Structure 1
Amino acid sequence: MSYMFFFHCKTMALFLSLCFVFILSLYTGSASAATPPHLDGLLPNGNFEEGPKPTNLKKTVIVGKYSLPKWEINGMVEYVSGGTQPGGFFFPVPHGVHAIRLGNEASISQNIIVNPGSIYSLTFGATRTCAQDEVLRVTASGQSGDLPIQTLYSSDGGDTYAWAFNATSKVVKVTFHNPGIQEDPTCGPLLDAIAIKEMVPLKLTRGNLVKNGGFEYGPHVFKNFSTGVLLLPKQKDHISPLPGWIIESLKPVKYIDTKHFLLPSGLAAIELVGGRESAIAQILRTVPNKFYNLTFTIGDAKNGCHGSMMVEAFAAKETLKAPFESLGKGGFKTSSLKFQAISARTRITFYSAYYHTKLHDYGHICGPVLDNVRVLPVS
């Protein structure tokens, strides 16, 4: 009798244990299914290669709010192909064949599933098509930014921008809007590719007070074609798409990758394309009166950018002018600056002293490369 009771209890315990494991697996499975994937790539139909049905096109104008697959449209939105256009225009579409042009007050939108509390960066190819004063407004999660696209940084239409936002809900509506009103209602910004990337929270690197000093963490870079990603200054971009860093002054800096440029090391670096009108900075935790050594690498990305380059570095009360003579064929050098902290927070800042263009393309603005920024206490 006691043996049968023991066997019955053991069997019940095994059964309950298996039930618990099964229920737990269902719970964890459903929980993981509810967690959005780590985003890093094109949005659905982000390159607009999936076009409207011919019946939903009136010449190039899209007819119908949901006629562009995966997108919601408002106002006059055109579906165009790259190349020569009627009226003598030429639309460059470096990221594919098709693109979207936003007319007066027009917009396109898409809902995206995200992780609330995470930072996301949107990377998109954009250029003006008619007027000098065209603006592109990007909105997501109650945050918005106006991108002035008057200045063309690449003459082949390859200008690519990044804009970051903080997700405040599980579903975020991303909108690209043309707030301008031109005499020609079809005039407006051209969008040819849109991608998204979830930004990983930064951690301090052992032996370096600078966060993301090698610029390894940044926005999505298009794989098939890239002239670099323009990072707008803080006045236009309240959350930086370059974790750890502040983009200062009036002009953007450019995020470049090792697949399309020659870099000192690693996967990415910064090209200071705006001369004195763009600067990159970071605020470090320091000990007052303690001495530190700032080191960094400068050079050219073998992209035809040439001339007498000069990167100016600032830390506490110290300044360093680091020259580099570029032939546009690559090459790098390391510079260092010793400084004494005067407070518990020390700002380090870099900018290019001169303006540069490419050797055989004067319409392409460029500048020196910055990489491997390190700050160590002097023992």
Structure 2
Amino acid sequence: MVRKTDCGGSHRRTFLKATGGVALTGVVAGCLGGNGNGNGNGNGNGDGNGNGNGDGDDDDNHVRFVLNPAEEQTDIIEEYTPMAEYLEAETDADVELIRAGSYVETLTALETNQAEIADTSPTAVPGGEGFADVVGMRTAFGGPLYFSTITTLPDSDIEELSDLEGEAVTVGSALSLSGTLAPTLMLSDAGLDVGNFPDGDPVDLDLQTAGDHDTAREQMINDPTVAAAASGAFASAPQIPQEQFDDYPEFVEHSAEYDGAGSAIDDDNPELQLLAVSDPLPRAPIMARSDWDAPVRDELEEALLAAGEEDLIPDDVDEDYELWFTGIEAADRSDYEPVDDVLDELGLEFEDFS
């Protein structure tokens, strides 16, 4: 039976230098394996951080699956429940779904033995080297690529990215590839001095970290002091008229969001004006803890890669709780070289974040 744990109260993002990888702190004790429950699976005496030795029920088959809340308004536990039920039906796994509070927490959970597997950001791939393995890459309607956008409101005076000099722009989580890092590079390429953001303050404009894609968009809509917002196209395209994307042929060809562009514009969701679209980005990975050696691991990974759209989004699922990807294809670290390229062009290392 799928276990559901909703955990989203912490947004602390602290990066510590560590040999061979990144030591991350910030997981909510008591949500990702704490509460003195050993490894989060049993009834042993833990240290409150999920690092104790539990004597839990069938630990080898208990799989803690941590989920990354990229959008504020989604019920990610409900969305992932059909996947968890499919995995339990196909394997001996007992899947516990845990909603993390931030991008950082998904990676932290793998490093600190508070999870076996995680849905996380593409930026987790370089950040997790040495303790987290890429199982596969999410796909949406056959496509492994997605895009970042920078938008404004139609009645603003902003016509191109260079017009954002001196303005406030909202972005997502500091570790979000499409919500923050790719847009920061886009602004830099437009001639704006972004300093060493998000490791420090930009020079030519005010970049404000909103935490997730939806919040970044909504802050721009509701706050007249914010001139533009960066977000993944999955959060912005429904409010951008489709014809605005026609100048971006890669988006038209590869984006799962193109067909539905503009479909959500109404009195509650105002039209957005597209300023720029990023280069194609690799979709987010499913990652597993490197030292997870339970027999159920192979079963689970094989089932994930074999899952079809009907397994992830069954016909009887309410459309409000549909998962936003339709499959998982085999992938490895080399598929995420574009992430390394973005970091290199921005002059950032994961150890730089503080």
Q: Is the pair's TM-score, using the shorter chain for normalization, greater than 0.5?
A: no
Please identify which structure carries the higher helix content. Answer: 2
User: Which of the five TM-score ranges fits, normalised by the shorter chain?
Assistant: under 0.3
TM-score when scaled to structure 2? 0.24
Please identify which structure carries the higher strand content. Answer: 1
